[in-house]
Structure formats: structure tokens, C-alpha cells
Amino acid sequence: MAEQTPQDAVPQAEPPADIVPIASGKRKAEEQLTKEMVEQHQQQQQQTEQSAAPSSEQQPTEQTTTTATTDNAQELQVQQQQQQHQDDDGDKAKSQPADGTTPTATNEDGTPKLSKNQLKRLRKQAAHEQFQAERKEKRKEKRHQQQAKKRALKEAVAAEAIAAGEDPEEAVKKLYREPWVAHPVPVAFIIDCDFEEYMRDNEIVSLSSQIVRSYSQNRRAKYQAQLVISSWKGKLKDRFVRVLNNAHLNWKGGVKCVEGDFMQAAEIAKRMMEEVDVKEGMIDLIKPSGNGGLLLPEPEVEETVEGEESGDAVKAPKPKPEEEAEDVNQSIVYLSAESDYTLDKLEANTCYVIGGLVDRNREKGLCYGRAKAAKVRTAKLPIGEYMAMQSRYVLTTNQVVEIMAKWLECGDWGEAFLTVIPKRKGGTLKAESSCGTPAADNGENDEEENGAEKVNSEATATEVANQTTEQAQDVQMSG
């Protein structure tokens, strides 16, 4: 029997059926490599035997080593076969990472490509850093203006005291000794927060900030409306509890948070307006006028338009405004841009519902549909009647609250809009208002100026040129 060589001792593993057969030249190279590995191991084993004493356990060790060497050679051969299979697959196998993950797209210089959202965030960050110094300078200028206003007030009070023969220093001291006194009025603002399913997490955060500002602005207003937050649950409530440390529990005055919908909140608001101290706060401005405080739609008339082909004037019927149902609830007014009615004035014992929805204008008509289903009145703020807007504008929830609170103070919508809407938005009064100071342009609400519903409807190009009661573009509000 012929002597068995190390090459013959190594079993040849058959390649799997799904692997492409290896060329004969490559197979010979693999066999030669395996033979060299076995011979090298044998040499190392002989050197170990010579340096160590003979042992009865030497034979099992040699068998184990030989088996391990055989397994290594077999594994090496299978790996080489698989490598050959990958080479045949072409560029697809070359581009696949070793860990099996999806390859990352890169630019020509090897840097990873950025998505559109990532690029947008980087641009916003760069713009924020670029104008940071400018914003700081604006805040400094605003502080100086406030200080100058205080000095002017002191000088005016001192001058009046001198004219009346009184001590000017005592008059100035009395100016700051007078405590702030709340003046509640029988009007309710309801913020409907039952839109969580339509908002992302960051939009719910924005809504929570708007609610806090709504409370703050109504609290320090000259006349305080009764404020009720409806649908107080879900992520919004959880944020106030966990992140804001239950700040709403310290709110003072006529404010409540209820878990029910805006209809249940309206019932609670009505009981709040019936309290003695609130009923005594009746002012002439909110006394009933007979039409519920709403401007009724104009009667149906015919409009004159030019024909597309002949250019002749053609009579076209104006869309007929939708009339209110007979069983509509007169004590609740839901603010919505889709309404054909315009809010003329705030009236006593009436609840004005503001949709607490921050959705970047994805959803349309939610508030109007909800109001129709609940059979309550609807109305839109009269921005188009008083303001000429140079661009599309969005009102946040707290801005709507502030506008109505300002109207309770002066009874002038033009003054209210001019005070609340920042001047950087390009809004100007269409007529002279009785009073007013333009709103400060401090940029605080830039991030949150997105709401759910439009406050006014679109204006045509002719109406924009003539500065009619419709505004140039959609002016929107939160809800």
C-alpha cells in the first residue's frame, strides 16, 4: 500500500450546488496552499516534540491538531469558493458592505449626502446664527424704548401734579403704589385642543406655548375674559404635568382646564359668566346689539365680469352665503375662515371658540366642519375689513386671544390688529383708527406662526388693486 501523503489526508469538500464551479487552475493553487500549510504545521509539531519530554498524551494531541488543520483547510477552501462567486456577481457584490447593511450614498469627495430636511435645518441654523447679533440689538433697542416710555410717563405725571399744586414726587410714587386690579367681564374664550391626532409632537409643544401665552395675555389685559381650555388630555396635558411642572395649577382668575369637548367647556364657561363678580363687570362695549355681534352676509347680487373670448361684460351670480340653521346655538361662536359671517363685536354671555390646532396648514375646514356638526354659530375675524396685508399671514392661538382682549379694551378692531400683528408682516390700516401703537417686532412668534384655519378668504387680483374689504392673500388663524 502506497504511503499516504498529507495532501491525500485532507478530505476534499464538495462545493454546494448553488456555487459556481471553480476553475482547475484556481483549484490547483488552493491545493498547493493547503499542502504548504499542513507541512508547516508538521514542522512546528516536530520541533515541539524534540524540545519536550515524551508523553502518553502526545498521540491524542497530534490527532486533534491534525483534525483542526484539516478543518481550517476545508474552511479556507469554502471561503475561496464564495469569494469567486461574489466576483462573478459584478459591481453589486463589490458595493455591498461586509456587515450586510445598506450602503450610504456619498458625494464625489466621499462625504455622505444630506437629505433635503437636513439641508433645510442647516440653512435655518446658519440664518439663526447670522442674525443673532441683529436680534440682540433689537432687544436692546426695545428695552431702551420701554425705559424712555417710563420716563415720559413720570414726567407727565409730575407735570400734572405741579399744575394741580401737588408734590410731584408723591404723585410719581402713587403711580407705582397702585395695585393691579382684575376686571373680569362676562365673555368667554374657549381654546379647543381636540386636534392631537392631526399634529406632530413639535406642534403640540408649540400649542402648549401658545396656551401659556394666551393665559398670560388675558390675565394682564384691562378686561379679563373667562378662559377655558377644552379637551385637556393626551400629550398636551402630559407635557404640562411632566415638562412644565403643573404650571397650570397656579393660574389665577377665571381660567379652567376641562377634559370634555368645547360644548362641555361652553357649559362650564356659562356658569363662570353667571358668577356675581363677573356679572358686575358688564361694560357698555359688550352689551347685546340684536344681531349676536356678527355681520350678516351681503344679499345675493350679480357681478360684472369680462368674457374670456369676446371681452364683453357678462352677468355672473355671486355665490349665495350659507344661512344659519334655525336650531343653531346663538351663545357659541366658533371662529373659522370658511364662515360667511364676520365678527362685528364681542357680546356678553357668549363663548368664542378658537381652534387649538398647529398643523402648518395641512388640514382645511376642520373647525368649520366641527362647528356645523355641533350646530353652533361661526364667524371670521374682520381682518380684511381693516388691514391691507402685503403677504400671507398666520395668526397663532395666543394672537387671536390677544386681539379680542385688546378689542375689549378699546372697541376698535383696527387698533387691535395693529397692536398685535407685528409690523414686519407689512400689515397697514385701510382707514384711520381711533388709537393704536404698532406691535413690537421682536420676532418671538416666528416659530409658532402656523395655525389650522384661514381667518379670511382669498382676494382676487382686482380686489387687491382696489384695496377692497378682502385682503391680498390668505390670512390665517389657529383654528
Please tell me which residue, 127 or 214, carries the higher pLDDT value.
214
Lowest mean pLDDT among 130-144, 289-303, 317-331, 465-479: 465-479
Write down the pLDDT at residue 429: 80
Residue 434 in this model has a pLDDT that exceeds 60: no
**Per mean pLDDT, which range of 20-34, 322-336, 339-353, 400-414 is the poorest?**
20-34
Distances (CA, A) of 381 to 14, 35, 350, 400, 439: 83, 92, 16, 9, 18
Mean pLDDT, to the nearest integer, of 97-111? 61
Cα separation, 430 vs 390, in Å, equals 12
Instruction: Tell me the per-residue pLDDT of 140-188, one tens digit each, with 9 for 90 and over.
Output: 999 999 999 999 999 999 999 999 898 888 888 887 766 778 899 999 9
| Residue 65 banded pLDDT, cuts 50, 70, 90 | very low
The answer to whether residue 91 scores a pLDDT higher than 90 is no
Cα angle: 438, vertex 443, 447; to 5 degrees:
130
71 labelled catalytic? no
> How far is Cα 275 from Cα 189, in angstroms, rounded to an integer?
16
The per-residue pLDDT for range 24-58, each reduced to its tens digit, is: 555 665 566 556 665 665 676 677 666 654 444 44
Please report the pLDDT score of residue 29 as a whole number: 58
Cell of 33: 496552499
Domains and CATH numbers, the chain: 181-287+325-477 (3.40.1280.30)
Which amino acid, residue 369? G
375-417 pLDDT, tens digit each: 999 999 998 888 887 766 678 899 999 999 999 999 999 999 9
Asked whether the predicted pLDDT for residue 344 surpasses 70, the reply is: yes
pTM of the model: 0.58
- Beta strands of 296-413 (E only): which ranges? 302-306, 313-317, 329-335, 342-343, 350-355, 376-379, 387-388, 393-395
Strands of 350-355's sheet in order across:
255-257, 224-230, 184-192, 350-355, 329-335, 376-379
- What CA–CA distances, in Å, run from 107 to 110, 170, 228? 5, 74, 54
pLDDT digits 0-9 by tens, 237-262 = 999 999 999 999 999 888 999 999 99
User: What's the confidence (pLDDT) of residue 405?
Assistant: 95
Q: What cell does 127 get? A: 440664518
Give me the catalytic one of 340, 359, 412, 446.
359
